[in-house]
């Protein structure tokens, strides 16, 4: 089974009960428009709602990684994050923050200046080769996402056999070993749903998610309102809450520890119902 504890800001957190990571996008172009927060009032209000509804972690992102998005430059990402985190720390000084970035220099500044507890790198270290060294130096938990930004190999791999699973296992094995060799043990695995994968590959990974418990590391799932739901059901992200809930339940049933979501209230209800269901015996 995957590890049930992790250290955030020096405190050991129990993962027996799955955590909720709420998505806060300080971007004008994230794929789900309702998640965009660009004013102090909107940021403050959104986080208040997240906390009231049961969020454990706030994941702040300032560079959209939606399909076909053009990355903003480092200076712009820094400016957006600095504005948002100034607001957050002014009103919510003690909440757990995660930073959604693939740039090591951004991760460094946000951890050091704003006491960010987690670095969430959707590129798995592919887009900035300095990232592993930096998060190890910072000694903060790192979300390692399966993603290959420098190649398109995933789409050409068989999607429903052992070869595809072993490719993903190999990806994690190599990078976990590298991070461990640098002294970083607090690694969270994200299978990278929606990144360089076909719909079939996404669902095949979801169906076999429990395989990755072999690494004895916490598992995170981020499927909230993504195209793997929308394309299959022929709907838009605004209509994808029900599909998100279904996939989160399937992941909970395979031992996932963190749900990364736009809709915190619904995710909390999902976890509560699932946890109660698990207590019922014949």
Residues taking part in catalysis:
226, 260
Closest CA to 59 of 13, 19, 16, 25: 25
Task: Tell me how far apart the alpha carbons of residues 189 and 114 are, in angstroms, rounded to a whole number.
Answer: 24
């Amino acid at each position: 089974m995957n590890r049930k504890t992790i250290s955030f800001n020096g405190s050991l957190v129990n993962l027996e009960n799955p955590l909720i990571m709420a998505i806060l996008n300080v971007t004008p172009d994230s794929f789900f428009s309702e998640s965009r927060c660009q004013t102090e009032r909107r940021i403050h209000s959104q986080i208040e709602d997240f906390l009231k509804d049961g969020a454990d972690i706030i994941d702040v992102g300032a560079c959209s990684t939606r399909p076909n998005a053009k990355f903003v430059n480092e200076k712009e990402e820094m400016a957006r994050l600095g504005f948002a985190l100034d607001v957050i720390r002014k009103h919510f000084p003690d909440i757990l923050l995660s930073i959604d970035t693939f740039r090591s220099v951004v991760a460094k500044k946000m951890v050091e200046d704003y006491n960010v507890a987690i670095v969430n790198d959707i590129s798995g270290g592919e887009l900035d080769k300095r990232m592993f060294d930096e998060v190890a130096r910072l000694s903060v938990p790192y979300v390692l996402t399966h993603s290959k930004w420098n190649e398109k190999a995933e789409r050409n791999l068989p999607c429903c056999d052992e070869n595809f699973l072993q490719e993903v296992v190999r990806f994690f094995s190599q990078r976990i070993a590298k991070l461990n060799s640098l002294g970083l043990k607090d690694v969270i695995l994200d299978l990278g749903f929606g990144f360089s994968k076909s719909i079939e590959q996404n669902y095949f990974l979801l169906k076999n998610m429990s395989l990755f418990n072999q690494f004895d590391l916490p598992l995170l799932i981020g499927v909230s309102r993504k195209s793997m739901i929308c394309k299959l059901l022929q709907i838009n992200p605004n209509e994808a809450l029900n599909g998100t809930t279904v996939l989160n339940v399937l992941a909970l049933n395979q031992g996932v520890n963190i749900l990364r979501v736009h809709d915190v209230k619904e995710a909390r209800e999902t976890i509560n119902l699932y946890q109660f269901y698990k207590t019922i015996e014949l």
